[in-house]
């Protein structure tokens, strides 16, 4: 079974994009690829475990495939890299529906082929209890042009690429309501229709099920070269900004009133009884890009980001001397360092 | 915990070999590496799952780390590649002994640094039930010089690099005896001492716990360029040779009386009540190299292999027209296609 499942998925995924860089694909001891002369390699990997990172009560296999790709693509995007090749490790449990892996593959393929990524290998093992999916992405980046976490400086302005907290709200909604439905199909959402629109609810749920990696934005910022540091918001601003502080030897202050919170998030937060600001700062998996830029280069970077995004990015704070992430509200200052999202469905 | 464990392992593993090719290591969204100009990339990945591929009753964490590295290194060796960088995905369960990950890391490091491989990234997730370890290796190979599975031709002689069946015998012994001891430490081996020497028994067990990847041999054969196809024997000759037949569109015949079976394997087979030939052909995880070579180039390749191995490699059969793997014995011919080892502890 081992090689068969990866090979089958490879057939599905590979057929979409015949990639001349793949000299030897799935089915040998190793895959062989021709990399682009003059480029550096970037590489990342992420594992999703059933009942820890996803729940099959509301994750259909197609969305699981898409998300598996997206969380890794987001890391490559946050470096400003170009993703090229993927490896897939599956731990398969019994009891999955017929067609599960076909649907998963189609979802995975839909995201990978969107960015020209070919599946070149992997491994499948059987496990009695719990489905687990790891994807490893190899990409390329121009020497000296990647967006790291370690070069932020006090005085840098902090920007993010979109609304925060929506994925966490979507997840909370799915968890609270999953008893009522067998599986999320984007059709029925019972209960709380009156106070939040169907369109808004669907968007929040999609932020959890089908996050959009900020690939084009990361690549544009890397090409420009004036962004000092960047990270994708997988664990929430409070934690991810703390990573930048930690790696750069700086502190940061975040301005509560500048955090982009959508009307939909406000509406659903009232229903769920949670603070939208707390979701926005400590909720994970928004996969928006956060970056820091000097005052001097601020306007230029803002223009580049606005061109890619179609709207102006959000300035949410400033790097400062220190080692903490501080939240500034009208009532005062609060330490939110590493108060991020722990991956638990 | 996520980044901490991989970072800690990275500190341990990385400190052994400061690798100038790693421009950005563990701790960012991606690692960044400078590959060697003019080389192609090779990549492979393998997952080991507790109670499927290993049993902590006889696998101490140090050996588990070494084996995790070795099974992947063996794939790179079988391509004739040079391994460079590794990523590690861990699914960690509760209840592991203090120091488990330190010992694991030291074992992993001992194998990776032997071949100049640096750990550049990974991901750790928590799982309630079952430890699982995936390693992904990225390496390099000279263009046109890799050893694939698809170019064997009828008339090629089939060679292997060492004794077969020993890892499977070692595993069987561990399974049969594991109730008697808490953990294998290479010290006490009760029970069957009288009929097989302690030294021999220890070697068989080491073949399962601590396989030796045939890196130097694979690289030497790839550099020579006259080997037609190669594979590492992870699933046994019957299955791995069937892979070559399948990919090359040929058949193969294996000569029972030429299969290298050690005196130790014969002795323990009598005790275990199994045919040594069956262990040698369908037992897995010997991680010896199998290759095919034309009659014309046979002598030259034999010399190269003998120089690396310190003994002459074993000619065990011949590629033939057809699509089956046939075993030739004194009593006749038997079809052993894909009768390989299924990974089960």
- B277-304, pLDDT tens digit by residue? 999 999 999 999 999 999 999 999 999 9
Rg (CA), chain B: 20
**CA distances for A343 relative to A53, B74, B125, angstroms:** 6, 34, 9
Q: According to the model, what pLDDT value does residue B178 have?
A: 57
pLDDT band at B190 (very low <50, low <70, confident <90, very high): low
Cβ separation B52–A28 shorter than 8 A? no
Q: What integer pLDDT is reported at residue B175 of this predicted model? A: 87
Nearest CA-CA partner of A283 in A135, A154, A188, A170:
A170
Do residues A169 and A279 make contact, with C-beta atoms less than 8 angstroms apart? yes
Is pLDDT above 90 for B315? yes
Enumerate the residues of chain A whose CB falls inside 8 A of the CB of residue B142: none
pTM value?
A: 0.92
Between positions 148 and 167 of A, the ones with CB within 8 A of B are: 148-150
Distance of residue A214 Cα from the nearest chain B Cα, in angstroms: 13
- Is A21 in CB contact (< 8 Å) with chain B? no
| Alpha carbon distance A251, A113 (integer Å) | 39
Residue labelled with tokens 């369908």: B282
Best residue of B7, B21, B29 to probe chain A, by most A CBs closer than 10 Å: B29
Q: What percent of chain B has pLDDT over 90?
A: 77
Q: Among candidates A250, A255, A242, A232, which has minimal Cα distance to A332?
A: A255
Contact B280, B165 (CB under 8 A): yes
Measured over all CA atoms, what is the biggest interatomic distance in chain A, rounded to whole angstroms? 62
In CATH, the architecture of B157-335 is: Alpha-Beta Complex (3.90)
- What is the CA angle A229-A233-A239, rounded to 5? 85
In this prediction, residue A180 carries a pLDDT of: 52
The mean pLDDT value for B167-172 works out to 94
**B124 → chain A, closest CA residue:** A47
User: How far is it, in rounded angstroms, from Cα B6 to Cα B313?
Assistant: 40
Percentage with pLDDT > 70 across chain B: 91
> Which residue would you say has higher pLDDT here, A342 or B29?
B29
The percent of residues above 90 in pLDDT, for chain A, comes to 77
Alpha carbon B95 to chain centroid, angstroms: 29
Query: Do β-strands A118-126 and A82-92 pair in parallel, antiparallel, or remain unpaired?
Result: parallel
Structural domain spans, chain B: 2-141, 157-335
pLDDT of residue A2: 45
pLDDT of residue B198: 84
> Is-contact B106 B140, C-beta < 8 A?
no
Q: Of B145, B140, B155, whose CA–CA distance to B225 is shortest?
A: B145
Give the Cα separation of B319 and B245 in Å (integer): 8
CA dist., res. B74 & res. B211, Å (int): 9
* A227: β partners: A293
Residue A331 makes CB contacts below 8 A (sequence gap 6+) with none
Tokens standing for A258? Answer: 């500048």
Contact flag B127-A52 (C-beta cutoff 8 Å): yes
- Range in A13-17, A147-151, B331-335 with the lowest mean pLDDT: A13-17
Pick the residue with more confidence: A12 or B64? B64
Q: Which residue of B has its CA nearest to A235?
A: B2
The answer to whether A70 contacts chain B (CB < 8 Å) is no
Q: Taking CB atoms and an 8 Å limit, are B247 and A28 in contact across chains? A: yes
Q: What is the ipTM of this complex?
A: 0.91
Alpha helix locations (H) across A178-311?
198-209, 215-224, 237-248, 263-272, 276-282, 295-309
DSSP classification of residue B153: -
Mean of pLDDT values over A247-265: 97
d(CA A197, CA B9): 48
Rounded CA-CA distance B64/B56 in Å is 9
The alpha carbon of A312 is separated from its chain's Cα centroid by a whole number of angstroms, namely 20
Are B153 and B66 a contacting pair, CB within 8 Å? no
Query: Does the beta-carbon distance from B139 to A30 stay under 8 Å?
Result: yes
Closest alpha carbon to A17 in A110, A140, A107: A110
How far is the C-alpha of B254 from the C-alpha of B252, rounded, in Å? 7
Q: Is B49 on the interface with A (CB under 8 A)?
A: yes
Q: Name every chain A residue with its beta carbon within 8 A of the beta carbon of B91.
A: 47, 49, 91, 132
pLDDT class of B341 with cuts at 50, 70, 90: low
Joined together, the tokens standing for residue B115 give 């071949």
Shortest distance between the Cα of B192 and any Cα of chain A, in A, equals 33
CATH (one of 3.30.70.520, 3.30.1330.10, 3.90.1200.10, 3.40.50.300) for A2-141: 3.30.1330.10
């Amino acid at each position: 079974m081992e090689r068969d499942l990866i090979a089958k998925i490879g057939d599905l995924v590979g057929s979409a994009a015949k990639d001349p860089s793949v000299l030897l694909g799935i089915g040998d001891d190793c895959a062989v690829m021709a990399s682009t002369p003059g480029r550096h390699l970037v590489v990342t990997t992420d594992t999703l475990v059933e009942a820890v990172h996803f729940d099959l009560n509301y994750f259909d296999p197609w969305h699981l495939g898409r998300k598996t790709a997206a969380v890794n693509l987001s890391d490559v995007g946050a470096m400003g890299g170009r993703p090229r090749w993927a490896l897939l490790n599956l731990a398969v449990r019994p009891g999955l529906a017929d067609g599960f892996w076909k649907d998963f593959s189609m979802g995975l393929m839909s995201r990978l082929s969107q960015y020209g990524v070919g599946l070149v290998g992997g491994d499948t093992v059987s496990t009695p209890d719990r489905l687990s999916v790891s994807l490893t992405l190899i990409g390329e980046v121009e020497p000296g042009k990647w967006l790291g976490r370690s070069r932020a400086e006090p005085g840098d302005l902090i920007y993010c690429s979109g609304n925060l907290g929506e994925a966490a709200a979507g997840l909370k909604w799915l968890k609270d309501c999953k008893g009522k439905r067998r599986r999320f199909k984007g059709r029925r959402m019972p209960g709380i229709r009156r106070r939040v629109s169907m369109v808004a609810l669907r968007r929040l749920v999609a932020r959890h099920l089908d996050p959009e990696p900020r690939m084009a934005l990361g690549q544009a910022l890397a090409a420009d070269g004036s962004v000092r540091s960047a990270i994708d918001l997988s664990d929430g601003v409070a934690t991810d900004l703390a990573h930048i502080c930690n790696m750069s030897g700086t502190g940061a202050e975040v301005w509560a009133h500048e955090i982009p919170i959508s009307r939909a998030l406000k509406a659903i937060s009232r229903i769920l009884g949670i603070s939208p600001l707390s979701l926005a700062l400590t909720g994970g998996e928004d996969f928006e890009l956060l970056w820091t830029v000097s005052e001097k280069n601020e306007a230029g970077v803002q223009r580049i980001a606005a061109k890619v995004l179609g709207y102006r990015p959000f300035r949410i704070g400033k790097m400062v001397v220190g080692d903490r992430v501080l939240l500034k509200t009208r009532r005062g200052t609060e330490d939110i360092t590493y108060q991020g999202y722990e991956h638990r469905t």
